[in-house]
Structures are given as C-alpha cells and as structure tokens.
Amino acid sequence: MLYSNSMKVLRRIAPIAVIAAAALLLLYSPDIAPERYTDLATFFRVEMKRQGYSGFSVAAVSDGSVLYVDGFGKDGSGAPIGPDTRLYAPAAAKSMAALCAYSLVREGLLSLDMSVSSYLPWFVEGVTIRHLISHTSGFSDDDFDDLHPSALGLEAAARLMSSSKPEAAPGQAFRYLDTDYQVLALVMEKAAGQPYSELLAARVLAPLGLSSSDARVPAVPPRGSAYFFALSLPRAPSTSAVAASSGYLVSSAADIGKYMAYLLGPEKTKRGPLPTRAVISLFDPLSPHAPYGYGLFIGQDDEGRVAYHDGSLDGFSSRLVLWPDKRAGVAVLAPQGSLLQSLIALPALTEGARRIMRDGESSRPFPLGRLYILLAVVAIVHLLALVLQTGGALAWAKGARDKAEAKGSRGPILFARIRCWVGIALRIGIVLLCPIAVGLAFGRGVSWRSLLQLEPSLAVWCLFACLFGVLRNISRLTWLGGASGIKRLRN
C-alpha cells in the first residue's frame, strides 16, 4: 500500500517537476543578447533569434528620411533575406489602397461621402466610401466569411458582403473587415476604369519608386513559414485574386522604407501621389466611431500621435508604426506567421527600434523564443500524461469499483461516470467555444482553420489535448461497464 501511494504521488509530481526544471533552465541559461542595445543592426540581428524568427526584413525612418534598412535570416524556401527581398506586406496594403483612393478623391473621381451604390448599383444602400476606408460599413463577418476563399474576383467578394445582414447602421460602429477594402478596390476600378493593380502602380508605386512592390498576383509567390513551437516549418505558397488591397501586397523592406519616408516627410518627394499639405490628413480618423484613418489605426502615446497597422497572412506577419509628430517610423516584414509573435515580438521589435532612434539605446525585450520552448515542454508533458491516463483507464475503473465494493454503494461508480461525462462535455465545449472567444478578443470572426494558420502551436496542442481527454474518458466509461457494472455491484 505504501509503495502504491508513493507511486501515485510520484506520478502527480513528476510532470510538475519536469516543467519547473525546464522553466528554471530557460530562465537562468546564458542570454545571447547584451543588456542594452545601442545600434539597430545588432538589435535586429540578435532579436531575430531571441524572438524565434527564421528571418525578417526591417526599415526605419527618422526625420522623414530612410535611416536604416536591412534583412536577416531566411524565408520559407531557405533563401536569404535582404533589403530588396520581396515578401507579403499586409501591414502596408490597406494604407496604400487608401492613399490611392484619396488621390482619386483629390482629382474628383471619387467622393468620400458618395454612396458605394453610385458606383455599384447592386450594392446595399447607405454605405459610403468613407465607411469602407474607416471600417464602419456596418457589416461584420458574423454573417459571412471575410476570407471567402471561393471568391474568384472583387465583384464576387463585394456581392457576398452586400448580401449579408448588417450588424449596425453605416457609420455607427467599427468592425474590422478585409472585404471593406476589397469593395473599395472594386469601386476605384469602376471610377477610374482601370484594374486596381494598375491604379496602385500608377498612383502610388511608380511615383514613390517602389520598384519591388506589386498588387498583381505574383508568378512566383513569396514563401513563408509557420512557427510550430520552436520549429519554423515552410508553408505552401499562397496567393489571392481579390485581396491585394487588403493584405496580399508584395513589397520589400527597401520599398516600405521609401513609403514611410514619403508619409512622414512628403516635402522631400518631388512628385508624390498627393500634394505635400494633403499628406498630413492621412493620419486623421475618418469617423468619430472608429480609431482608424486611411488604412491605419490612429492613437496617442508618449511621442504624440501614432499611426500603426499589423497584418498576418498564411505564413507571413508584419507591423508598421509611424509617429507623425516625430517624423519617425519602423516596419518589420516577416515570412513567418505566429499569433504570439504578432502580439508580443513585433511590437517589442518596433518599440525597441524606436527607443534606439530616440534615446540612443534600448533594453533587451522578453525572449519569446524561450517561451515557445517552454510551451513545447508543457505540451509534451501534458499530452503524454493524457496518453498514459488513457492506457491506465482499466486500473482507474478498477479503483472506482473497489471503492464502491468497500462502501457497498454505487455512489463511487456514479460519481466516476459523471466525472467522465463532464470531462467529455468540457472538452467538446472548448473546441466549440475557443474560436468564438478568440474572435471576441480580436473583434472579428475566427475559425479553427484561421487558428491553425495564425498560431499552429497552441491550436494543435489544444485540439490534441481535447481529443486525448475525450478518449481517456471514453476508455474509463467503457471499463466502468456502464449499467452492467452497477448491476454487478448491487448483487
């Protein structure tokens, strides 16, 4: 009995001990980063490894001019990344589309407060160009798929949105939708009589000398990767025939640097898309109900106004931050898709670069790569424990039967069965509710397909944990014998 109890205690303590040991090892192992960074090159080169990236390209602007641009590591195909390496830049796609639209407004080909139905007669009434640009169209992806992978063109995407049920009156609520900008691209095509890719090239890319940027579907798409715990796994190349204005823009760090320099120092560009005085209005919100301007979120921090945008695609993530009052900006383009990296690492990289430009130094940020290693250890221990518990279902059921026989009551059997059914229901509930909870946190619809693309590590762990948990409880119920087992206890 003593030996049996000791083994039970050991089995319970062992997983916690393994996780604690891994955490202490990661916490106290030597760090490759200096205590403080004083130059951008060292900061980005070292932090690429500490944040778990296989590679990325970066650009920094100071006083309205490009200060630094470079590339590090490799993309999903294993090719080295440089300043001119073409990657998807979803963080810049919407602001370039909005800049293109504003240039049409300045020429009188579009009007911000003109109804979309003036250009697309079949589109629902009441939605204006302003509503599309500021994400206040009133639609949400609760009633239609904002990704709509089956849409073969901009009109198909726009019709899907128009035929869905609005969540609010136009202009009254902010709801982020990629389809807003796809409808905007279609409206621009109708107003100017040119495909969106040609409009963007003529009005934004060519005037700014963005030679690596393109809104057309690339013949050879950039290759990205997924971050699965501590491993970077190549993704199959992806393209979109409808989403160039909302995310699938091909660009490079060198081009994004020039683009930021124009937005922050337009007087230095000889022939820009807009008059110099008009550029500053791109940082103004377009609606009192939305913290959003021309393709950029608008806010305030200790530097004054800040305009920023994050963007994630299958295998890619990026972040662009501008401080208009300081005429400074930072952008990171990564051929790697990970939700935690987008939420933690990318903001840390842009903030660290800003501090180096402003203060001359920056402390080292939290090493997200180590957290992923710890999560991998926790996931392995957790799943292994569930597998062993499933294999030990017979012994567990026998223990419940022994308790029932010792008490001469069926109570322990009933309690064990209820515990198993509750465990099954809980895990089914997690699978059903997890996308809903994440969607509420981010203000848009999320599916398991999206979760597996954006954060495969945690998504796979969650699914397998729920699967093994259900199998464990089914095995226990099977060995308990259901009603026949209770009948035998009564006899």
Q: What is the pLDDT of residues 451-485, one digit of tens each?
A: 888 888 999 999 999 999 999 999 999 988 754 44
Least confident of 139-148, 193-202, 315-324, 344-353: 139-148
Confidence band, pLDDT 50/70/90 cuts, at residue 441: confident
Higher pLDDT, 289 or 58: 58
Q: Name 45's bridge partners.
A: none
**What's the pLDDT score for residue 9?**
55
Residue 14 CB coordination number (10 Å) = 12
The chain-wide mean pLDDT, for the chain, equals 90
Higher pLDDT, 272 or 23: 272
Confidence band, pLDDT 50/70/90 cuts, at residue 32: confident
Q: Which sequence spans correspond to the domains of the chain?
A: 2-23+370-490, 48-366
Confidence band, pLDDT 50/70/90 cuts, at residue 69: very high
CATH 3.30.450.70 fits 48-366, yes or no: no
Tokens standing for 457?
Answer: 């590590």
Residue linked to tokens 């007087």 = 267
**What's the pLDDT score for residue 438?**
85
Strand order in the sheet with 297-301: 65-73, 55-62, 328-334, 316-323, 304-313, 297-301
What is the rounded distance in angstroms from the CA atom of residue 130 to the CA atom of residue 172? 12
* Phi, psi values for residue 213, rounded to 5°: -95, 145
Residue 389 clears pLDDT 90, i.e. is over it: no
**What's the pLDDT score for residue 211?**
96
**What's the pLDDT score for residue 200?**
97
Higher pLDDT, 243 or 146: 243
Least confident of 211-215, 380-384, 400-404: 400-404
**What's the pLDDT score for residue 490?**
43
Q: Name 69's bridge partners.
A: 59
What is the rounded distance in angstroms from the CA atom of residue 186 to the CA atom of residue 163? 16
The Cα angle at residue 142 between residues 136 and 144, in degrees rounded to 5:
90
**What's the pLDDT score for residue 359?**
95
Tokens standing for 162?
Answer: 């128009």
**What's the pLDDT score for residue 436?**
87
Go through 241-258 and write b for each residue having 16 or more CB atoms within 10 A of its CB, e for each that does not.
Answer: ebbbbbbbbbbbbbbbbb
For residue 121, what are the CA distances in angstroms to 49, 116, 124, 159, 434? 52, 8, 8, 11, 39
Residue 337 clears pLDDT 80, i.e. is over it: yes
pTM of the complete model: 0.89
**What's the pLDDT score for residue 401?**
84
Is residue 58 within 8 A of residue 87, CB to CB? The reply is no
Residue 248 clears pLDDT 80, i.e. is over it: yes
> Residue range 166-172: average pLDDT?
91
